[in-house]
């Protein structure tokens, strides 16, 4: 398998999951401004959506969208317990978290990466703060979103990275979660492979 990524982007989430699962995944960096891979390919030909992550499977097909990719990777190694078994309520709770992170956190960061009016950025920051406050209430009672580490935690961790780089204050339990994640050797390995500070 090959993971198309951009350092520190949401593609860090499946990168962490692959590390945690012990899956050998080839990495190919993508320049998202030029939409070129490091080997010179037109990234739009790989993923017409134009963004990472994209996972090239062994049969040559391409899987896109982070929440789908992380579940696929976890399902390749069920013994890693990175995702609950399909069909269980715990799996639906995982999908619930992935949906929340994707639509309520990830998407609200979008204006902060763009040249938009300051009022739009302020509104996005206020929404992000509300969403992190909700997550903080959950993490007040457990170390990880489902209790045990799962693929949802890898995705949430990326959101905490973005918040930290933008100097947004994390609530105390979310900040403690971020420290726990940074202490995980496989998280460190993924970050080092992408040239990110640990």
Token output for 136: 């903080």
Q: What is the mean pLDDT of the chain?
A: 97
CATH number for the 89-184 domain, one of 1.10.8.100, 1.20.58.100, 1.20.1050.10, 3.40.190.10?
A: 1.20.1050.10
Per-residue pLDDT for 68 more than 90?
A: yes
pLDDT of 21-43, one tens digit each? 999 999 999 999 999 999 999 99
**What pTM does this model have?**
0.97
Look-up of token digits 């990719």: 69
Q: Which tens digit of pLDDT belongs to each residue from 148-176?
A: 999 999 999 999 999 999 999 999 999 99
Give per-residue pLDDT as tens, 112-152: 999 999 999 999 999 999 999 999 999 999 999 999 999 99
Whether omega for the bond prior to residue 53 falls within 30 degrees of 0, making it cis, is yes
- List, for residues 6-24, the tens digit of each pLDDT value: 999 999 999 999 999 999 9
Cα separation values, 58 from 2, 26, 79, 89, Å: 8, 11, 21, 30
Q: Which fold has domain 2-80+187-193?
A: Glutaredoxin (3.40.30)
pLDDT value, residue 198: 85
Residue 90's CB is within 10 A of a number of other CB atoms, namely 14
Mean pLDDT of 94-121: 96
Q: What is the pLDDT of residue 13?
A: 98
The arrangement of strands across the sheet holding 62-64 comes to 36-37, 26-31, 2-5, 54-56, 62-64
Domain segments of the chain: what residues? 2-80+187-193, 89-184
| Average pLDDT score over residue span 61-76 | 98
Q: For residues 75-97, give the mean pLDDT.
A: 97
CA distance 186 to 77: 15
């Amino acid at each position: 398998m090959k993971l198309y990524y951009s350092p520190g982007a949401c593609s860090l989430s499946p990168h962490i999951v692959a590390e945690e699962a012990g899956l050998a995944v080839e990495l190919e960096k993508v320049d998202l401004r030029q939409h070129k891979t490091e080997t010179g390919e037109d990234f739009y030909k790989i993923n017409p959506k134009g963004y990472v992550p994209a996972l090239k499977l062994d049969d040559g097909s391409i899987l896109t969208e982070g929440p789908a990719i992380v579940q696929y990777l976890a399902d390749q190694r069920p013994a890693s317990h990175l995702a609950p078994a399909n069909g269980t309520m715990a799996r639906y709770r995982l999908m619930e978290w992935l949906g929340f992170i994707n639509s309520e956190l990830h998407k609200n960061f979008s204006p902060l990466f763009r040249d938009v009016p300051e009022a739009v950025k302020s509104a996005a920051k206020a929404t992000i703060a509300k969403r992190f406050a909700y997550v903080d209430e959950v993490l007040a009672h457990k170390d990880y979103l489902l209790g045990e580490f799962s693929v949802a935690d890898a995705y949430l961790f990326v959101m905490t990275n973005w918040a930290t780089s933008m100097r947004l204050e994390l609530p105390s339990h979310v900040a403690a979660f971020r420290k726990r994640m940074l202490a995980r050797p496989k998280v460190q390995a993924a970050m080092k492979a992408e040239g990110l500070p640990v």
